[in-house]
């Protein structure tokens, strides 16, 4: 974005923020990627808040992300995240001690003394569960209640003993005074720097979305134009999410005019991955299209190879060239057909007799006789 801002010929007094707002209104492509950038930054701040135990940042970033759950139809998160944000904001009033502890970073868990390595408490629980389970977990124990109970009681104790034993073994090898993050090394920094440069270069190669001036929304790389409904989503998703979030908070948390468990209406917005299909394609039609595409590719390949090798094209196309001949199979399954269809072919060979011919004797197949007999009271 900065590259596009610098490159553009404009009045020098314009700030990047004002330029961004103007460009967002002009180009849907710019708007999509600018919005993505903002969302990613919000999520990065959320992760940073957790890793550093910064409670204020945690609340702020959560409040920024929450409207997106409404807009993109995640009802469970949409329902409970505003409740959590509100609880956390009210903590100072309702439970001062807890608020004080949370502000001091005790809403996350530190397993090591390394900086930027705090984790949410539920994640720490999950890691502890894994330690207790050890290899194999509870598989096979669930059918034996006594064994399962024994394992549940002793599992955590054994895990603690094993951990203590491992700590004493590795104590001499680890730098206990180190507070650096385990990835805070020069090679990691170099690699990351290179990846950032490569990614920026890759966006420029594929078409910098921040230098797009058309009214179309394009997929980077393929340059496929997205449906107008996707463009419409880009234009309204941000405001829609904020409006729904505010309405939810006022209706269900402040005025309580609606119960919190009342259904949240889904938006079903069109996205790049959920574009409306033009015309409904049924299963058999889909197979037919796939088969046609396959044939098209195969014939073009065979046609080219035939020309290169100076083969006789007439002779080549006189034969069936697929591994499963279409005359015998369709969509990978053998054609069964209808037996009576053969009559049409046979009639061209011999004229059918409409009148019953005079006969002296009648020969009948055993199977015909069995079918002629009545099931009850007959013997063969």
The answer to whether residue 75 forms part of the interface with another protein (CB under 8 A) is: no
Question: Using CB atoms within 10 A of its CB, is residue 199 exposed (0-12), middle (13-18) or buried (19+)?
Answer: exposed
77 binds another protein, rule: CB under 8 A: yes
Interface with another protein in residues 210-249 (CB under 8 A): 218-222
CA distance 238 to 24: 12
Cβ contact 51:118 at 8 Å: yes
Is 206 a binding residue for another protein by CB under 8 A? The answer is: yes
The Cα–Cα gap between 64 and 58 comes to 10
Contact 344, 352 (CB under 8 A): no
Q: Is 116 in the site for another protein (CB under 8 A)?
A: yes
Does residue 114 belong to the site contacting another protein (CB under 8 A)? no
Residue nearer to another protein on the CB measure, 98 or 271: 271
- Nearer to another protein by C-beta: 151 or 230? 230
Using the rule CB under 8 A, is 5 a contact of another protein?
Answer: no
Is residue 273 at the binding interface for another protein, with CB under 8 A as the rule?
Answer: yes
With a CB cutoff of 8 Å and minimum separation 6, the contacts of 294 are none
**Nearest by Cα to 41 from 25, 16, 24, 60:** 60
Please identify, using beta-carbon distances, which residue of 201 and 281 lies nearer to another protein: 201
Nearest-Å Rg of the Cα atoms of the chain is 36
According to the binding rule CB under 8 A, does residue 331 interact with another protein? Answer: no
| Cα distance between residue 96 and residue 245, in whole Å | 27
21-58 b/e with 16+ CB inside 10 Å = b?
Answer: eebbeebbbbbbbbeeeeeeebeebbeebbbbbbbeeb
Instruction: Tell whether residue 266 is a contact of another protein (CB under 8 A).
Output: no
Backbone angles phi and psi of 296, in degrees to 5: -60, -45
Write down the least CB distance from residue 128 to another protein, Å: 19
| Partners of 329 in the β-ladder | 334
Write each residue from 345 to 374 as x if it is in contact with another protein (CB under 8 A), else as -, in one continuous string. ------------------------------
39 touching another protein, by CB under 8 A: yes
Q: How crowded is the C-beta side of 163, counted as CA atoms within 13 Å?
A: 13
Residue 56 Cβ, how far from another protein at the closest point, in Å? 17
Query: Is 3 a residue that touches another protein (CB under 8 A)?
Result: no
Binding mask of the shown chain, residues 14 to 33, with x at each position contacting another protein by CB under 8 A: ------------------x-
Nearer to another protein, 48 or 235 (CB): 48
**Least Å distance between CB 264 and another protein?**
14
Segment contacting another protein (CB under 8 A): 66-74, 84-92, 346-354, 355-363?
Answer: 66-74
* Sign for the pseudo-dihedral over CA of 204, 209, 214, 220: positive
- Positions of E strands within 130-173: none
Cβ-based nearer residue to another protein, 272 or 316: 272
Of 57, 98, 271, 287, the one binding another protein by CB under 8 A = 271
Residue 85: how many other CB atoms lie within 10 Å: 20
Enumerate residues 163-202 that contact another protein by CB under 8 A: 181, 183-185, 188-189, 192-193, 195, 198-199, 201-202
Report CA-CA distances (Å) from 198 to 204, 230, 365: 10, 29, 80
Of 183 and 258, which CB lies nearer to another protein in the complex structure? Answer: 183
Q: Which is nearer to another protein, 51 or 86 (CB)?
A: 51
Among 196, 195, 223, which residue's Cα sits nearest to residue 209?
223
Choose which of 48, 86, 101, 114 interacts with another protein (CB under 8 A): 48
Does 74 participate in binding another protein (rule CB under 8 A)? yes
Question: Which residues make up the interface to another protein (CB under 8 A)?
Answer: 32, 36, 39-40, 43-44, 47-48, 51, 68-69, 72, 74, 77, 116, 181, 183-185, 188-189, 192-193, 195, 198-199, 201-203, 205-206, 218-222, 271-273
């Amino acid at each position: 974005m900065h590259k596009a801002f610098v490159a553009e010929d404009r009045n020098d007094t314009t700030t990047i923020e004002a330029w961004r707002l103007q460009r967002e209104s002009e180009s849907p492509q710019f708007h999509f990627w600018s919005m993505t950038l903002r969302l990613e930054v919000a999520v990065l701040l959320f992760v940073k808040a957790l890793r550093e135990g910064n409670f204020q940042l945690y609340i702020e970033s959560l409040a920024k992300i929450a409207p997106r759950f409404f807009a993109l139809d995640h009802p469970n998160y949409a329902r409970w995240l505003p409740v959590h944000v509100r609880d956390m904001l009210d903590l100072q009033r309702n439970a001062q001690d807890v608020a004080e502890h949370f502000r001091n970073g005790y809403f996350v868990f530190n397993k090591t003394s390394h900086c930027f390595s705090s984790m949410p408490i539920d994640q720490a629980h999950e890691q502890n569960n894994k330690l207790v389970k050890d290899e194999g977990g509870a598989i096979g124990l669930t059918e034996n209640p006594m064994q399962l109970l024994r394992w549940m009681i002793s599992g955590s104790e054994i895990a603690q003993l094993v951990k203590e034993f491992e700590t004493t073994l590795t104590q001499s090898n680890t730098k206990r005074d180190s507070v650096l993050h385990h990835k805070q090394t020069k090679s990691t920094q170099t690699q990351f720097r290179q990846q950032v440069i490569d990614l920026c270069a890759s966006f420029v190669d594929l078409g910098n979305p921040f230098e797009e001036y058309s009214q179309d929304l394009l997929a980077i790389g393929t340059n496929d134009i997205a449906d107008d409904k996707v463009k419409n989503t880009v234009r309204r998703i941000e405001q829609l999410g904020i409006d729904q979030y505010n309405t939810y908070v006022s209706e269900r948390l402040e005025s309580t005019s609606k119960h919190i468990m009342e259904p949240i209406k889904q938006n079903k917005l069109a996205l790049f991955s959920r574009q409306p299909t033009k015309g409904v394609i049924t299963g058999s039609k889909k197979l037919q299209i796939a088969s046609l595409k396959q044939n098209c590719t195969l014939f073009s390949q065979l046609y080219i190879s035939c020309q290169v090798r100076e083969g006789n094209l007439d002779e080549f196309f006189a034969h069936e060239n697929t591994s499963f001949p279409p005359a015998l199979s369709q969509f990978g399954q053998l054609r069964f057909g209808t037996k009576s269809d053969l009559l049409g072919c046979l009639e061209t060979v011999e004229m059918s007799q409409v009148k019953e011919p005079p006969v002296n004797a009648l020969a009948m197949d055993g199977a015909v006789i069995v079918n002629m007999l009545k099931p009850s009271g007959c013997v063969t």
